[in-house]
Structure 1
Amino acid sequence: MVDWVAVVLAKKEGTYGVDSAPTGAANGILTRNYSAKPVDMDRIERNLDTRVFGALASVPSNERRTSSYEVEIAGSGTAGQAPGWMELLEACGMAAPVLTAGQDAVQNFAAPGASATSLSQYDFLSDQRRKSVGMVGSFTMDFTAGAYGFIGFNWMGLIPPASPFDKTAPGAVDLTRWKEPVEVNIDNTEFLLDGYAPALRSWRADAGVATAMRNLVGKRYVRRGNHSFTSTAVIEAPDIATKNFIQSLRTGGLVSWSIEHGVAAGNIFHAASAKVQITDITESKEDDTLMWTLALRHTVEGGSADFTITAK
């Protein structure tokens, strides 16, 4: 029997697919809702004509590893130092954060053609270790009132040839770089859309990063391609005379968007987009209050950044 005690270590690779050997002392990830497949693969079906009914054996092909987990959104504890989750976001298509000592860490999506970041990841269930290299992924975000904000990661990577599965305990894991988050609420969180601060129930985002296994003669890797950042905001519907989001929907106009969470230096998360489109409004009822679910598309119109994170 193997106990379900999950530990994840992840470290940026210097060269794609070359094991960067993450350690518990420096590369532990404080996860929640961990899930993985020890091996994910395709099957080659031969589809032969035979003289009998029944299934034929398939052949395993194109094996890889997939995993997912969530991390809480909190700062590094020191303004000007990058939180641990920024390294994970690099493997999801974002650039390395730009640090200003004592002030902030700023992260945008990497430009096309920039060197792609990948991770080596060791997953442990009890004393069973599974290795992955060349890992890239996509991410989601969730800020819901009365809960902690978190980032959800979905990963795909290669299985290294040397000892990918063995019996090795993780040992001591240092998680002190993962700081305690604060609740999403009226005191800690501000949400703005087109300069207006609605009563917010939740904001959820999907980076929409395309990942695909490339299995070719002479080259095998996980490709991370384009992204399409979208989100939904559930708000109390404003009086139309106060803020007319219906008009923004009808015209396809571009509006500003931001969320800031946290109040203490070193534990403040700020995200912003200069040009967002409202693409749909759905109505619902909550406690006999009219609620709107706004679908938002974060655009790069005019060369603006579609999504910028500032940890400060």
Structure 2
Amino acid sequence: MVDAVKVLFFKKEAIYATDAAPTGAANAALTRNFTAKPVVVDRIQRNLDRPVRGSSKDGPSNERQTYGYELELAGSGAAGTAPPWMEHLEACGMAAPVLTANTSAVQRFAPIGALLSSATAYHWHGNQKRIGLGGRGTFGWDFTAGQYPFIKLDMTALLPAAGAITDANVGAVAFDQWKDPVEVNTANTDFLLGGFALNLQTFSGEANAAIAAVNLVGANYINRGNHALTCRVVGECPTIGAKDYFTTLRKGDEIPVQLDHGTVAGNIVQFKSDHLQITDIELTENGDTNTLMISITGKLNVGTTPDDLIITAK
């Protein structure tokens, strides 16, 4: 029997697909809703002709693993020090955070030509240990009023030649670097869309990065392709005189969006873009308050630099 207790160790690799040896003391991730497929394969179809009806034996190919999880969004506890979840975002196409001492850690997507990061993951269900190398993935985020904010990651990794799945105890685990988040609410959160303070219910989004396992002679790796950021904003619908998002949709203009969450230095997180383009608007009714709600779907574009999403911890 394998217990359903879940643990993830996650560490950035110095050399692609070379085991970075994450430890429970330094690299344990405080996840929620962790899921995994320890082995995923493609099938080589043989389509053999036989004198009987039925399928023919095929063969497994391009083996890999997938795993997904959520991480709560909080600061590192010290302004100018990157929170641990930024290392996870590096494996999703973002550059290493730029640190300003005692002030901030700023993270953007890696520029064209930059060597993309990868990660080694050790993960357990009970005492069943799995290892993934060269892991890369994509992510999304969610700030919903009355909840803790989080990012959701979906990773794909290669399997090591030996020891991909074994029985092994987790051992000691430390979560000291993971700080407690604060609730998304009026006291802790400020939100602006097009310069207007919309009464926010949810600000969420997805990177939508293309992730593929490449299986060539002489080259086996997880490729992280292009991304196309989309987002969704739900809030109380303002009057047209206060803010006319419908005209913004009709004109195709780009507007800024900024969410600042947290009030204490060391536990403040900001998500920002100057290039939100509204692609759709829906209106619904809030039955509890009898108010009109606006749901705005958009995409976050780039300018001339990787500025479609700028994440700051401060």
TM-score with structure 2 setting the length: 0.97
State the one-letter code of the partner of 1:267: N
Q: What is the RMSD computed on CA atoms of the aligned residues?
A: 1.0
Structure 2, gaps ≥5 residues long: none
| 1:9 equivalenced with 2:9 (yes/no) | yes
Secondary structure at 1:33 match in 2: strand
The alpha carbon displacement at 1:9 in A equals 0.1
Are 2:110 and 2:306, in contact at CA under 8 Å, matched by a contact in 1?
no
1:311 maps to what in 2?
313
Alpha-carbon distance in structure 2 between the residues aligned to 1:198 and 1:46: 58
Percentage of pairs with the same residue: 49
Q: Deviations over 1:237-291 (max 9, x none)?
A: 1100110000000000111110011111100001111121111101111122211
The alpha carbon displacement at 1:295 in A equals 0.8
Are 1:274 and 1:304, in contact at CA under 8 Å, matched by a contact in 2?
no
Counterparts in 2 of 1:304 and 1:15: CA distance versus 1, 3 Å: closer
1:242 maps to what in 2?
242
Q: Deviations over 1:70-113 (max 9, x none)?
A: 00000001111000000000010000001111111011111011
| 1:119 equivalenced with 2:119 (yes/no) | yes
1:291 maps to what in 2?
293
State the one-letter code of the partner of 2:295: T
Alpha-carbon distance in structure 2 between the residues aligned to 1:33 and 1:57: 36
Are 2:273 and 2:308, in contact at CA under 8 Å, matched by a contact in 1?
yes
The alpha carbon displacement at 1:49 in A equals 2.5
Q: Deviations over 1:109-154 (max 9, x none)?
A: 1101101100000001111110000000000101111110000000
Are 2:111 and 2:306, in contact at CA under 8 Å, matched by a contact in 1?
no
The alpha carbon displacement at 1:199 in A equals 0.9
Secondary structure at 2:77 match in 1: coil
Alpha-carbon distance in structure 2 between the residues aligned to 1:145 and 1:135: 32
| 1:78 equivalenced with 2:73 (yes/no) | no
| 1:27 equivalenced with 2:17 (yes/no) | no
Counterparts in 2 of 1:220 and 1:302: CA distance versus 1, 3 Å: closer
Question: For 1:115-264, what aligned pairs fall within 5 Å after superposition?
Answer: 115-264=115-264
Structure 1, gaps ≥5 residues long: none
Alpha-carbon distance in structure 2 between the residues aligned to 1:106 and 1:71: 18
State the one-letter code of the partner of 2:196: Y
2:282 maps to what in 1?
282
Query: More deviation in 53-62 or 87-96?
Result: 53-62
Between the two proteins, the alignment pairs up a number of residues equal to: 312
Are 1:32 and 1:71, in contact at CA under 8 Å, matched by a contact in 2?
yes
Are 2:111 and 2:305, in contact at CA under 8 Å, matched by a contact in 1?
no
Query: More deviation in 25-34 or 291-300?
Result: 291-300
Q: Deviations over 1:157-201 (max 9, x none)?
A: 100112111111110111010000001111111111110011111
The alpha carbon displacement at 1:302 in A equals 4.4
State the one-letter code of the partner of 2:30: L
1:300 maps to what in 2?
302
Question: For 1:32-111, what aligned pairs fall within 5 Å after superposition?
Answer: 32-111=32-111
